[in-house]
Structure 1
């Protein structure tokens, strides 16, 4: 089971990194083409602007997934000085984040379902807005997976601390 989880996490990392690179490169190329077209040809494409905007949304949320994966979000420190307090605070913060992400994923699912029911599409490209709204659902699930992984790690750290304290 542990080998399966390790391989799954490895492939998730590859997919997240590929998504991050793809969205940044694509968005940059679209914006560059748009700027060149405006300067040299006095031409602007609303479709390119909308596409770049949608890709930017994906890029930002994939960046949030990577921050969660690397456990590099903003943290609060200095409240507890001793190790048990720090470990318990870290565990509690991971638990609260996971709870929030569960609510976020549920809300995101409802949002995507609403977009699909209403058959909503973007004004310029005509792309179903569920493609854009699914950003929240997909990245929310990925952040929840990484937070759950870090939560189990925090539980292990607390357990190891108390096991070592009794020895």
Structure 2
């Protein structure tokens, strides 16, 4: 199961890269066309906007799985393992409830806009709203997986912290560690 999930996340990373490359290409070529030829590609701006929407929603899935969203861990670091587990469950339940509301809303928007076409590309607007639906369903699945791992004791205690350490924090801790080992002012 983990191999399938990892393959899905590699595919998501690839789709994000494709969206970013296409978006950059469309915007750059449109700028060049307008600057040098006094014309532009009519659908490029709309395509870039839709690719950006997909990029954001696919990135949200990856960021949630990798715990890369912004977070404050001051309280969590001070809690015991039991307290972290309680907070982890509460956090995932809140995420589940919120994402279920988003699933409902984006599904309604997707079905409502099936017959409406975009102005220049003439594609159904549902194509844009389904990105939110896919993202929220995926986050629901990840949150349920997190809860399952916790309840079946397949989660290490260091995974209870739902944010990853940034490079800045790691640098600060290494500098503080070096100062302590050298007998610096804070040791």
Cα displacement (A) at 1:33: 0.6
1:101 alignment partner, SS class: helix
Structure 1 runs (4+) deviating above 6 angstroms are: 158-161
1:139 aligns with 2:139: no
CA RMSD, aligned part only? Answer: 2.1
Of Structure 1 and Structure 2, the greater helix share is in 1
1:64 aligns with 2:60: yes
Cα displacement (A) at 1:147: 2.1
**May I ask how many residue pairs the two structures share in their alignment?**
155
State the alpha-carbon separation in 2 of the partners of residues 89 and 155 from structure 1.
13
State the alpha-carbon separation in 1 of the partners of residues 79 and 152 from structure 2.
18
Gaps of 5+ in 2: 158-187
Once structures 1 and 2 are overlaid, which stretch shifts more, 90-99 or 6-15?
6-15
Gaps of 5+ in 1: 162-167
State the alpha-carbon separation in 2 of the partners of residues 18 and 32 from structure 1.
21
State the alpha-carbon separation in 2 of the partners of residues 74 and 25 from structure 1.
25
Scaled by the length of structure 2, what TM-score is found? Answer: 0.75
1:20 aligns with 2:16: yes
Q: Which residue of 2 aligns with 1:107?
A: 105
Scaled by the length of structure 1, what TM-score is found? Answer: 0.83
